[in-house]
Structure 1
Amino acid sequence: MLAVLNVLMLALNIYWWIIIASAILSWLYAFNIVNAGNQFVDSIGQFLYRATEPVFRRVRRVMPDLGGIDLSPLVVLLGIFFLQQVIYIYLYPAVQRAGI
């Protein structure tokens, strides 16, 4: 069971960094620092968009419209942090006590 929790924590950490990379790339696109016509940059952007947009879309549905400010990545990062804390504080000790 500890192996499952460790894999879950690793997946949450990887998704954390995917969200950070997506936010940074969106800023680079917005300020015209990267060339959107570059095939390599476009493929990275498409991957990050496809990996994050389904989660961001669900968060945006429940959040109020703030104009040009998109806080959905921040909300998702806070959700990931909350899940990690629940795993560290409650699930790891419970699994260790149970001896699973």
Structure 2
Amino acid sequence: MNALFDLILAILGLYRLVLIITIVMSWLFTFGVINQYNQVVSAIWQVCTKLTEPILRPIRNVLPSMGGLDLSPLIVFFGILFLESLIRKDIAPALT
């Protein structure tokens, strides 16, 4: 059972990393630091977007408009941290 929790925590950690990459890349696009028409940048952006959008889109639909400020990645990030904490401190010890 421990291996299953370790796998879930690893997946959540990787998803958190992809979310951070997506956030940083969107800032870099906005400020013109990187060119989104570069093949490598475009490929990374497409992969990150395809992984994060299915979770971010429903949250964006629920949140009110903040004038161009997107808080959905922050909500997902804290949700992942909460899940990781819940698994480490409550679920895993209860089942071992």
**TM interval, short-chain normalised:** over 0.9
Query: 2:54 matched to which residue of 1?
Result: 54
For 1:55 and 1:75, locate their aligned partners in 2 and report how far apart those are by CA, in whole Å.
10
Query: 1:7 matched to which residue of 2?
Result: 7
The alignment covers a number of residue pairs equal to: 96
Instruction: Give the counterpart letter for 1:89 in structure 2.
Output: K
For 1:19 and 1:69, locate their aligned partners in 2 and report how far apart those are by CA, in whole Å.
16
Instruction: Give the counterpart letter for 2:47 in structure 1.
Output: F
Query: 2:21 matched to which residue of 1?
Result: 21
Q: CA RMSD in A?
A: 0.8
Query: 2:70 matched to which residue of 1?
Result: 70
Secondary structure at 2:12's aligned position in 1?
A: helix
For 2:45 and 2:32, locate their aligned partners in 1 and report how far apart those are by CA, in whole Å.
14
For 1:93 and 1:67, locate their aligned partners in 2 and report how far apart those are by CA, in whole Å.
43
Query: 2:43 matched to which residue of 1?
Result: 43
Which sections of structure 1, spanning at least 5 residues, go unmatched?
Answer: none
Query: 2:82 matched to which residue of 1?
Result: 82
For 2:5 and 2:24, locate their aligned partners in 1 and report how far apart those are by CA, in whole Å.
29
Which sections of structure 2, spanning at least 5 residues, go unmatched?
Answer: none
The structure having more radius of gyration, on CA atoms, is 1
Instruction: Give the counterpart letter for 1:28 in structure 2.
Output: L
**TM-score computed with the length of structure 2 as normaliser:** 0.96
Instruction: Give the counterpart letter for 1:78 in structure 2.
Output: F
How much does 1:64 deviate?
1.3
**TM-score computed with the length of structure 1 as normaliser:** 0.92
Instruction: Give the counterpart letter for 1:21 in structure 2.
Output: I
Where has structure 1 moved over 3 Å in runs of 4 or more? none
Identity of aligned residues (%): 39
